[in-house]
Amino acid sequence: MPKILRTVSETRDFTNLYDLVNRRIGFVPTMGALHEGHLSLGRKARNECDCLIYSIFVNPIQFGPKEDLARYPRDLKGDLEKLESIGTDAVFFPDETIMYPEGYSTYIDVGPVGNVLCGKTRPGHFSGVATVVTKLFNITGCDQAYFGKKDYQQYTILKKVVNELNMPVDIIGVDTVREKDGLAMSSRNSYLSKDERKAAVVLNKTLKFVKDNFIRFKTKSEILTKVTELISSEKLADIEYAELRNASDLSDIRSIKKNKLVLLLAVRFGTTRLIDNMIVN
Ligand code: PAF
């Protein structure tokens, strides 16, 4: 079983052993309820680094007051078995008072990119993510950190944070792992009813349609009209946003001919909100 580290000093003592002999520490931050997507990050880290550490921490400051913090799936025993199967060395599993002791008041402001897409309906979410990830980097002293590109906005923002704050960590993005029918793996898929689960396939189908037919489109609005039509054909789907943006920094685009573009979706199925995205050109 991976070694369980519960405090900052235990974790530092553990990773210092690797640092002292110049070994690379690979880190995968998670909120637990691990699935194949999380494990694919660890497998890549295992290949590229000498030490593999995961963290499991359901970070309260990235959830809004009406979000699913209380019902977020938790399964430590199952998670540890999965992490053992891929050769994880240690898991940082702090409780809330270790991460945010009483009086805690330091937060990272990620700027305007945190207020678009998911940030529009989840104010403060990316500040919460950037804050906890920065703390986790400082605690683990990792050299490389692995993030799924399913959370494309998170991945883009964290690259910017690390660059702008001169943090000595390489952010490695890993492609989305999908179920056989194309649904992107997510801990939140477990909330879906049978019918919602079937309906949710429309996300990947829509993204693939745009990618496969990209050369036929002339404008951004033509693409987004088609996307809305395809998703709305699924009765259980309720679109929160569908946006086409510059894949390198998520800035707005005028022409669809010049830049590498990412199509990003957030869609509700009942009470479950799913996100997905694809580079389409
Ligand atoms: O992607 C997640 O699971 C979380 O946002 C992260 C990066 C572990 C921070 O809490």
CA angle 105, 106, 110 (to 5 degrees): 135
Q: Which residue has the tokens 């008072």?
A: 97
pLDDT, average across residues 188-213: 98
Residues 100 and 74 in one domain: yes
Ligand 1 in reach of 151 Cβ (< 6 A): yes
Residues 27 and 153 in one domain: yes
Ligand 1 in reach of 132 Cβ (< 6 A): yes
- State how far the alpha carbon of 14 is from the alpha carbons of 29, 97, 133, 136, 231, in Å: 17, 21, 19, 14, 48
pLDDT, average across residues 141-147: 98
Report CA torsion sign: 112, 115, 119, 122: positive
Taking all residues of the chain, what is their mean pLDDT, rounded to a whole number?
97
125 belongs to the catalytic site: no
Phi and psi based region of residue 250 (left: phi greater than 0; alpha: psi -120 to 50; beta: remaining):
left
Among 69, 99, 129, 134, the mutation site with the greatest number of ligand 1 atoms within 8 A of its Cβ is 129
180 in any annotated domain: no
Phi, psi for residue 202 in degrees, rounded to 5: -60, -25
pLDDT, average across residues 215-233: 97
pLDDT of 166 > 90? The answer is yes
Residues 143 and 263 in one domain: no
Question: Starting from the edge strand earliest in sequence, which strands make up the sheet with 144-148, in order?
Answer: 3-5, 90-92, 51-56, 25-30, 144-148, 170-174
User: How many residues are there in the chain?
Assistant: 281
Residue 29 half-sphere exposure toward CB, CA atoms < 13 A: 28
Nearest C-alpha neighbor of 110 from the set 98, 102, 118: 118
CATH number of the domain that residue 47 is part of: 3.40.50.620
Out of 27, 31, 32, 38, pick the active-site residue.
Answer: 38
Each residue's pLDDT tens digit, 102-129: 999 999 999 999 999 999 999 999 999 9
pLDDT of 271 > 90? The answer is yes
Residues 149 and 120 in one domain: yes
Contact indicator for 11, 1 with CB cutoff of 8 Å: no
Per-residue confidence (pLDDT) for residue 21, from 0 to 100 = 86
- State how far the alpha carbon of 52 is from the alpha carbons of 43, 69, 73, 130, in Å: 9, 27, 23, 21
Per-residue confidence (pLDDT) for residue 24, from 0 to 100 = 96
Sorting pLDDT into bands at 50, 70 and 90, what band is 156?
very high
Each residue's pLDDT tens digit, 12-52: 999 999 887 889 999 999 999 999 999 999 999 999 999 99
Nearest atom in ligand 1 to the alpha carbon of residue 59 is 10
CA-nearest residue, atom 6 of ligand 1: 30
Nearest C-alpha neighbor of 133 from the set 103, 102, 159, 95: 159
Contact indicator for 143, 168 with CB cutoff of 8 Å: yes
Residues 167 and 237 in one domain: no
Each residue's pLDDT tens digit, 55-99: 999 999 999 998 999 999 999 999 999 999 999 999 999 999 999
CA of 34 to the centre of ligand 1 (A): 12
Ligand 1 in reach of 129 Cβ (< 6 A): yes
CATH number of the domain that residue 247 is part of: 3.30.1300.10
Domain that holds residue 67: 3-174
